[in-house]
């Protein structure tokens, strides 16, 4: 709503009445009524209005529901202990859209820009909080990056340990997956046995997957297992930011590298997940990739195993600390590196295209100085055993503060040539 119109309301109108009147006026100007707005926002589309969207809000996708007879093995890390009830179980939320929060605004105040665009926002594509009857605890994530360059897709298996808080009426699990993610197989386990699944439905416009069980959820632990394929580098509104290069003696292009940026709500475009900052979990990650390609994630490497005549390798990484999924990050491509050490002998590594190494020495030399000073000033030691800084070409924002893997636009970290020439 426009703040000026509300503040200049007639004296006989309360603020609530002014807001209601302005909302009704805005919606009527766009051919909608307040009843249409409330029905559509709740996912119930009146007859005739559903056709305004390109696809119906609820679509059943071809997902294979796995049973005990199917082979689908993943490393699982089950936690012990009783499920706990969140303190914020009944917190209310306001629905926002991605366009409300991305891209970020740099050149002007947030509030005026937010209210100036209010008349043009509609309830399509709302960011709807997930139900709080379940909460993820841990992800085992196995990714395959061997076809990212020519195929523009990645493969993955994920096993998500979650706990149910046991409302007697709950028989549904809801999580995020955008329309560029194809879920091929899905299974839910309880105490090592498959839980009966009644239906799996996808709401593509809201990036939701709804799994209805044959029985109501219990107060206990469950494991959600999925096999999926993700198309990357399709739009600017996704978690993978890709750099393409031309094939020699050809007009075709391939992906030479990609970095990720999952903030604010783009983790759901890379893997099926609970894409909310309140859901803080740990991650075990392994990645299959070409041996000659640099692959980074939040944590240091733990082990690597060569495959296919030493051209492909599977790299396993140390388990992460508990963190929200928007801080999960990946970097893939051919990069040069400059490594410095802190006073505690912790490596700080700057990764960048080989042609930009000469412009990176100032940042590489200065980073351990400021890093040591920050630890000294705050009296807190950085808890991870490495820190990577990545200079990415045309990164959509100035930088992304992923834990252990900070990604910058190259202009924010490399020394301009004009400075070096002066």
Domain final residue pick, 300, 332, 364 = 332
In this structure, are 139 and 229 located in the same domain?
Answer: yes
In this structure, are 308 and 347 located in the same domain?
Answer: no
In a domain, 91, yes or no: no
In a domain, 57, yes or no: no
In a domain, 392, yes or no: yes
In this structure, are 321 and 340 located in the same domain?
Answer: no
In this structure, are 314 and 384 located in the same domain?
Answer: no
Which structural domain range is residue 145 located in? 64-83+129-332
The per-residue pLDDT for range 369-411, each reduced to its tens digit, is 999 999 999 999 999 999 999 999 888 887 899 999 999 988 8
Domain final residue pick, 332, 351, 384 = 332
In a domain, 390, yes or no: yes
Domain final residue pick, 276, 299, 332 = 332
Compute how many other C-beta atoms are within 10 angstroms of the C-beta atom of residue 352: 24
In this structure, are 162 and 246 located in the same domain?
Answer: yes
Question: How many separate domains does the chain show?
Answer: 4
In a domain, 89, yes or no: no
**pLDDT-derived band of residue 2, with 50, 70 and 90 as boundaries?**
very low
The per-residue pLDDT for range 109-165, each reduced to its tens digit, is 433 333 333 333 344 456 789 999 999 999 999 999 999 988 889 999 999 999 998
Phi, psi (deg, nearest 5) at residue 313: -135, 145
In this structure, are 232 and 221 located in the same domain?
Answer: yes
The per-residue pLDDT for range 232-266, each reduced to its tens digit, is 988 888 899 988 887 777 777 888 899 999 999 99
Strand partners of residue 127 = 96
pLDDT at 221 exceeding the cut of 90: yes
Distance, in Å, from the CA atom of 192 to the CA atom of 361, rounded to the nearest integer, reads 53
In this structure, are 191 and 271 located in the same domain?
Answer: yes
Write down the pTM of the prediction.
0.72
Using a 10 angstrom Cβ sphere, with 0-12 exposed, 13-18 middle and 19 or more buried, the burial of residue 273 is: buried
In this structure, are 248 and 292 located in the same domain?
Answer: yes
Q: What is the pLDDT of residue 102?
A: 53
In this structure, are 141 and 274 located in the same domain?
Answer: yes
Flag the least confident range among 34-43, 71-80, 249-258, 346-355.
Answer: 34-43
- Mean per-residue pLDDT, 295-315: 90
Q: What is the pLDDT of residue 169?
A: 77
Mind giving me the DSSP string for 139-178?
A: EEEEEE-TTHHHH-EEEEEEEEEEEE---TT--EEEEE--
In a domain, 352, yes or no: yes
What DSSP state is assigned to residue 35? H
CATH number at residue 301: 2.60.40.1730
Q: State what percent of residues in the chain have pLDDT above 90.
A: 50
pLDDT at 39 exceeding the cut of 50: no
Instruction: Name the more confident of 193 and 138.
Output: 138
CATH number at residue 362: 3.30.2010.30
In a domain, 299, yes or no: yes
Flag the least confident range among 8-17, 168-177, 215-224, 402-411.
Answer: 8-17
Q: What is the pLDDT of residue 396?
A: 81
**pLDDT-derived band of residue 21, with 50, 70 and 90 as boundaries?**
low
In a domain, 406, yes or no: yes
In this structure, are 224 and 349 located in the same domain?
Answer: no
In this structure, are 40 and 180 located in the same domain?
Answer: no
Strand partners of residue 89 = none
In this structure, are 236 and 375 located in the same domain?
Answer: no
């Amino acid at each position: 709503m426009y703040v000026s119109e509300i503040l200049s309301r007639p004296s006989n109108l309360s603020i609530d009445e002014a807001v209601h009147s302005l909302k009704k006026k805005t919606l009527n100007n766009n051919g909608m009524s307040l009843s249409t707005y409330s029905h559509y926002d709740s996912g119930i589309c009146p007859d005739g209005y559903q056709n305004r969207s390109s696809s119906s809000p609820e679509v059943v996708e071809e997902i294979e529901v796995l049973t005990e007879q199917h082979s689908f093995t993943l490393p699982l890390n089950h936690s012990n202990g009783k499920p706990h009830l969140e303190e914020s179980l009944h917190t209310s939320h306001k629905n926002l859209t991605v366009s409300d929060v991305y891209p970020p605004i740099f050149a002007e105040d947030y509030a005026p820009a937010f209210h100036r665009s209010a008349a043009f926002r509609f309830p399509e594509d709302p960011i709807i909080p997930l139900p709080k009857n379940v909460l993820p605890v841990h992800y085992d994530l196995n990714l395959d990056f061997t076809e990212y360059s020519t195929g523009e897709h990645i493969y993955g298996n994920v096993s998500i340990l979650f706990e149910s808080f046991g409302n007697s009426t709950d028989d549904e699990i809801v999580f995020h997956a955008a329309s560029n993610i194809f879920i091929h197989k899905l299974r839910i386990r309880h105490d090592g046995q498959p839980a009966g699944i009644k239906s799996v439905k996808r709401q593509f416009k809201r990036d939701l997957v709804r799994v209805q069980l044959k029985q109501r959820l219990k107060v206990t632990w469950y494991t959600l297992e999925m096999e999926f394929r993700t198309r990357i580098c399709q739009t600017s509104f996704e978690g993978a930011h890709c750099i393409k290069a031309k094939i020699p003696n050809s007009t075709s292009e391939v992906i030479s590298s990609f970095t990720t940026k999952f903030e604010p709500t783009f983790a759901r475009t890379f893997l099926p997940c609970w894409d909310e900052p309140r859901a803080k979990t740990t991650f075990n990650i392994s990645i299959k990739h070409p041996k000659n390609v640099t692959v980074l994630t939040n944590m240091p490497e733990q082990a690597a195993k060569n495959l296919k005549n030493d051209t492909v390798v599977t790299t396993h990484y140390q388990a992460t600390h508990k963190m929200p999924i928007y801080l999960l990050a990946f970097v893939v491509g051919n990069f040069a590196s400059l490594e410095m050490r802190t006073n505690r002998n912790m490596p700080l590594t700057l990764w960048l295209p080989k042609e930009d190494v000469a412009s990176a020495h100032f940042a590489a030399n200065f980073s351990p100085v400021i890093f040591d000073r920050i630890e000294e000033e705050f009296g807190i030691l950085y808890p991870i055993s490495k820190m990577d800084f990545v200079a990415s070409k045309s990164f959509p924002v100035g930088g992304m503060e992923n834990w252990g893997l900070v990604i910058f636009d190259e202009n924010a970290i490399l020394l301009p040539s004009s400075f070096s020439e002066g």
